[in-house]
Amino acid sequence: MILKKRKVAGIAILLVVAVLALLFTARFAKVVAFEDLEQKLELYLRALEIVKNEYIEKDVDNTDLVYGSIRGMLEALDDPYTRFMEPKAFHEMNIRMSGSYSGVGIYIGIKEKQLVVISPIEGTPAEQAGLKAKDKIVTIDGKNTKNMALDEAVSMIRGQSGTEVILGILREIWEEPRDFKIVRKQITIKSVKSKSISDDIYYIRLNTFENQNAAIEFAKAVEKAKNGGADGLILDLRNNGGGLLRIAVDIASMFIREGVIVYTVDREGRRETISSSGDVIWDKPTVILINEASASASEILAGALRDNGVATLVGTHTFGKAYVQNVRKLDDGSAILLTVAKYYTPAGHDITEKGIIPDVLVELPEVTTGEAEESVFDKEENEDKDDLQLNRAKEVLEKKILDKFKLKAIFERPF
């Protein structure tokens, strides 16, 4: 009995020693890491001192040096969406979220370290000038965009209404870039367009998730569908470059009574789940249209509705851009947009790595007209009869409606 107690005591002591050793190791590693950072900061301060004391121009602006240092630090992370925004750019971003700003009307992003057009916004100067999804922006007013930060590009493209910006565009089918002269104007983003396209089917096009009122406008469109007696809904997310996560969650909750909308995984592997609020206003058959210019919040919404079994996706593979970002405002009005996690669909698909793959693939044929090449959808978006993806979505939705009626008839059959 005494030996058994001694053995238990010995094991307990060993466990305590092991825990203390782990704590000491972790603490030691933190101390070493901090000391290493201190040494690097001393190196930086020494370099700053040399620049201030020896550079040929005496009056180097301190703000320029600090901002440049912050940009360099963030660029070292090799993440195009983690970026520094000067006070003016950060202020403009907040204005854009209200649904109105001055510019050309395009969503831009980084793809394979190249500045690209995610999508032009409908009815804006960018669309009217002929810019297309996947166009590479190689110059802005003659300045090469290679290694250009995203916020710098956005700031250069935006500007006072009535002024001109020249974008050097390289399209996949062109051998050389071409200049597009675009006159900026006040951009007011209309979030939703909707209409009845048959006795049974209602169509809602969601243009952006950036407008704070997008979910309210969307809900009103759904009510029109219900009041009109529609049995099915087509939600068009093509060329929607995304925006606010909150809007995507609010809209997803209009379809999903109970379940996960999206979840995130951070640097420690911790998982955080965002679930539906259950405020369902539509429970009838639904089809979602997506394409290569559907990004960010569009991908989150499409993935949520598909994985929860409430919608079928039709179109082409999406852009693949969905990082969780924290906005950290600094004391002078500038800000850091920092990637802190990744978004995953309810079924566990990494949106940023793979994008969203449709259930029904419908690629648009390309037709050559002179020097340019454009898809049927780009050429005549307003004519439904020429929109192959929309026509396929109708077919899929009509079958879903028919299947639901058949199922309902079976359950309502008297026994």
Active-site amino acid positions: 296, 307, 321
Output DSSP code: residue 211: S
- What is the maximum span of the chain, computed from C-alpha positions, in angstroms? 96
Please name which of 173, 128, 183 lies closest in space to residue 381, comparing C-alpha atoms.
Answer: 128
Under a CB-based contact definition with an 8 Å cutoff, are residues 192 and 211 in contact?
Answer: no
Which neighbouring-strand residues pair with 196? 202
Which H or E run includes 110? strand 106-111
Helix (H, G, I), strand (E, B) or coil at 118: strand
Q: How far apart are CA 232 and CA 294, in angstroms?
A: 22
Under a CB-based contact definition with an 8 Å cutoff, are residues 120 and 239 in contact?
Answer: yes
Q: How far apart are CA 382 and CA 276, in angstroms?
A: 34
Q: How far apart are CA 352 and CA 314, in angstroms?
A: 19
Tokens of 122: 């409908």
Tokens of 78: 């090799």
Could you tell me if residue 78 is left (phi over 0), alpha (psi between -120 and 50 degrees) or otherwise beta? left
Please name which of 334, 323, 316 lies closest in space to residue 109, comparing C-alpha atoms.
Answer: 323
